[in-house]
Amino acid sequence: MITTVEGLRHGQMVESIQGRDCRQYYLIIGLIGDKYLLLVDGHKHPLAKPKRKNIKHVRVTMYVAKDIEERVLRGEPLSNSQIKSALERLKNQHEEGSRFNG
């Protein structure tokens, strides 16, 4: 289990494993200290109101929306529609990978 934010990337997809939002997917948009992530999905948690979540309450995937990561690192503006489409793309890749890995 990952217990610190070290090594995590902006635009990386995570799955909530605790709380009311259990089994929901989000993209990392920011980091708070060593224990908390700022997460967005472009819908219920838009860029204007990111969800703060303890790192212990998420399952980190290896999928990263590189276009979102680059925009965040360059300080370029993002839209909720870009977040939604990137998250859908990553969820589809994740589901495809799960089918092959059993």
Domain of 76, CATH number, reads: 2.30.30.140
Six token digits for residue 102: 């059993």
Distance CA 80, CA 71 (A): 13
Q: For the chain, how big is the Rg over CA atoms in Å?
A: 13
As given in the structure block, the two tokens for residue 25 are 């997917």
| Residue 47: inside a domain | yes
State the pTM of this model.
0.89
3-state secondary structure of 70: helix
For 42, the domain range is: 12-101
Asked, for residue 6, whether it belongs to a domain, the answer is: no
One digit per residue, the tens of pLDDT, for the chain of length 102 reads: 565 677 899 999 999 999 999 999 999 999 999 999 999 999 999 999 999 999 999 999 999 999 999 999 999 999 999 999 999 999 999 888 766 665
Pairing relation of β-strands 36-40 and 51-54?
antiparallel
